[in-house]
Amino acid sequence: MKYYRKLVSVGLALTAIGLSLAALAAEPVTPKLTDKLSRLLQQEMRSVQSAMATIHVSMVTGDHKQVEAQAQQIHDSFILKQSLTEQDKKDLMAAVPEGFVTLDKDFHRLAAGLADAAKNKDTQKQYKLYNKMTGSCIACHSQYVSDRFDGLTEQ
Ligand code: HEC
């Protein structure tokens, strides 16, 4: 009987660990953002999305100047670098985990690389970086925006 009770408590502990790991894997940041941050982020995302569409057609038609301009614009839109007040910065850091910040930084670094590849008229490199950027969209949305983009939860 004692043995059975031990087994049950081990089972419960394992379940608790499993649950907290699942929460770690996909914890949406959206409910934790202040209204202002949420508005800024959505605005940034819409401009990123439209820049990515323009980059796509410019890249496949060899319009390097346009690729460079749009990639530079994505790089500069970095929300963490925007003119956020000190309070906004604190709110942002309180709302998002480190992994989110890392992904955001990686994403904007890729955009800078894409601008460089465009300056060098290197289409193959642009293609590679463009795909990596698309991978960043999916990685961040599936991990941190799983509440809104529930079609990505299996990623
Ligand atoms: C580091 C994380 C991160 C990366 C990288 C990222 N996004 Fe997002 N995206 C978000 C978050 C968070 C939201 C939800 C914001 C909200 O609803 O408050 C969002 C929302 C969006 C939306 C909806 C905007 C709206 O009007 O509500 C679009 C479109 C979007 N992202 C496009 C993209 C594209 C395209 C890429 C890649 C080229 C990308 N995102 C990369 C975090 C990210």
- In tens, the pLDDT along 59-109 reads 999 999 999 999 999 998 766 566 688 898 899 999 999 999 999 999 999
Predicted local distance difference test score (pLDDT) of residue 25: 55
In short, whether 96's Cβ falls inside 6 Å of ligand 1 is no
Within a domain: 3: no
Domain assignment of residue 72, given as a range = 28-152
Please tell me the chain's helix, strand, coil percentages from 3-state DSSP, rounded to the nearest 5.
80, 0, 20
What's the pTM?
A: 0.84
Residue nearest to atom 39 of ligand 1 (CA): 137
Q: Ligand 1 centroid vs 117 CA: distance in angstroms?
A: 24
95 vs 7: which has the higher pLDDT = 95
Domain tally for the chain? 1
CATH code for the domain in which residue 58 is found: 1.20.120.10
Please report, for residues 7, 22, 52, 142, 144, the alpha-carbon distance to residue 17 in angstroms, rounded to integers and kept in the order given: 15, 9, 39, 22, 20
Please report, for residues 25, 52, 55, 63, 115, the alpha-carbon distance to residue 49 in angstroms, rounded to integers and kept in the order given: 25, 5, 10, 18, 16
pLDDT, the chain, mean: 85
82 vs 111: which has the higher pLDDT = 111
